[in-house]
Amino acid sequence: MLSHSRELRHRGTDAEMALWRRLRNRQLAGAKFRRQHAVGRFILDFYCYEAGLAIELDGGGHAEKEQADYDRERTAELKSKGVRVIRFWDNEVLQNMEGVLDAILDALTPTLSQRERE
């Protein structure tokens, strides 16, 4: 799993690389994201452990029924492990990065704010 995760980091999509440039080094709300991080039997595109938040980027193949069904099952299994999953289309990231970052920030904010109150 670890070697597969490393391999995925080296051949990321344009959308993954663009988003990673904006998430790395705690650039968004101070949240630490990991890229191609394993959680259980899944490798997540991006994962913030502190917030229990996974970000998945989907290319066109994810619109096909079989892949969409798998994605729903995967999301349900991750949710049962306490991981929230948000998804974006690759073209969304490439064409509307600020909107994507706003959505990620919205997903992070309640979790991070709650942690600060505790």
Quote the mean pLDDT of the chain.
85
pTM above 0.85, yes or no: no
Domains in the chain (CATH in brackets) are: 2-113 (3.40.960.10)
Provide DSSP, the chain: -HHHHHHHHHT--HHHHHHHHHHGGGTTTT---EEEEEETTEEEEEEETTTTEEEEEE-GGGGSHHHHHHHHHHHHHHHHTT-EEEEEEHHHHHH-HHHHHHHHHHHHHHHHHHHHH-
Task: Quote the pLDDT of residue 19.
Answer: 97
For 24-51, how does the pLDDT look when each residue is reduced to its tens digit (9 = 90+)? 999 999 999 999 999 988 999 999 999 9
